Structure 1
Amino acid sequence: MNKKILYILSLTGLLSFSACSNDNSPVHSNETGEIRFSLVDTTEVEITTRASLNLDVNEFSVSLNRGDTPIFTSRKYKDIAGTTISCSAGPNYLLKAENCTEAEAESKNSNWGQARVYGEESFTVVANETNTVTVNCGLANSSVSVDFSDYIVSSFDNYSIDIYATDASSRTFKFDETNYKFKTAYFNVNGTRELSYTVTLPSPYQPYTDTLSMEPSKSYKFSIKIDGDSTNSTVTLGIIVDGTLSEEVILTESINPYA
């Protein structure tokens, strides 16, 4: 899965006039500014998706801060698109947009989580100018899915992979013959995050446990297959990252499944 980017051209702000002191430092009559909404003909809202996430950008939650002071929070994008906002001139404004919070990204869908798309943009309000602030929103969390080879599916009744982040072992997921085709687990990753996984196949194959270092905004797929013939077989795990095979791990070598 390629990295998904949503471009939101948003929030045309009608910016307020500010005075300056003798040393040319800006003086603000109201640090938080005066917020107002009005429809202006020059407002342009354009949404371009480079990959489908089945997300409605109009439902994104948008917030605006100046420094530590919130101007508004949790407003739907559809409620501010095409409006103007009067703000005090000066720096340190920050606009954020997201389809869900970090907590929701791991708790939705019975804790399997969901894709989180997030973006932010800092900007300065210039006196007596009307400007457009652009927020680029990209995929903000990582996902894990699983695939078993046709041989495994046709030969065995039971097979599974259990995964969990090592810093949150209570949030464990089992991909097995009943759900692996439609389940995806989502993880918030800042920097790197260690994922533990255990592959379990019927006897004579022994369970195999290892870890993977996840990176932010990546799509991981664990692909399990068995190669060989009736006298010798090898179990291999392919780790696919963003659609490209990154690594192959041999889990079990030269086993006679009929011995």
Structure 2
Amino acid sequence: MRWRLLRRRLSISAPRMAVRSHLPWPLRWAVAALMLGFSAALALWAFEFGRNIAGLNQGADRLNEALTHTREQLAQVREERDRAQSVANSADSLLKAERVTQQRLAEQVKALEAENLALKDDLGFFERLLPATGGAGVSVRGLQGELTGSGQLRYQLLVMQRADGRIQSDFLGRFELWLSGTRDGKPWTDSSPVVARPLQFKQYSRVEGVARCPADVQLRTVQVRVLDSTGSVRASQSLKL
């Protein structure tokens, strides 16, 4: 029996036996890490070497330079756009201010034209009122009257005082407006002036206003009188309507 066992161990059919060295596991991990690091370094070196051979690094550098140049151009374009926008805003503000100024000037021109027309009318009115000849004293010139639809009379006239070469003093007196016409087919004259007010001037005075007429009277004649401080009539004028 023993001989059989010994023979079996010494023969080809004997079981295999492996001899291994026993290493602690931390050392095994350290060796594995060193091997992985070396492999990674070798792979990175091979990759960079291949890029250098293929010229990829130069292309990347040129790409970075082009990207940097493009960014600089973009910043410059943005800066120019901001300047242009600022100029456009300033131009828009100036344009609005100019429009407002033109509108104001147009309104002033219209006002001056209206004032000029009024002055021309006044000048024509005064020219018609100025007497061609005449001596010293008070006179009434240019009596005008107009009936309105509301039963009122609008009137205007010019009272003038001409000196005889001496120093002219102020005229002190009053102005009266008298109305006459027909009532129920009969002549009618107002018993008192419809307008009476003080009057004081040195050379001339423009008198104008509105007088109310009786509703049942057909107005025919308007008469104005200028009285001095003593109540004497110094000038008068009548107007037929």
Range class of TM-score, shorter chain: under 0.3
Structure with a larger share of its residues in strand? 1
Structure with a larger share of its residues in helix? 2
Computing the radius of gyration from Cα coordinates, the structure with the larger value is: 2
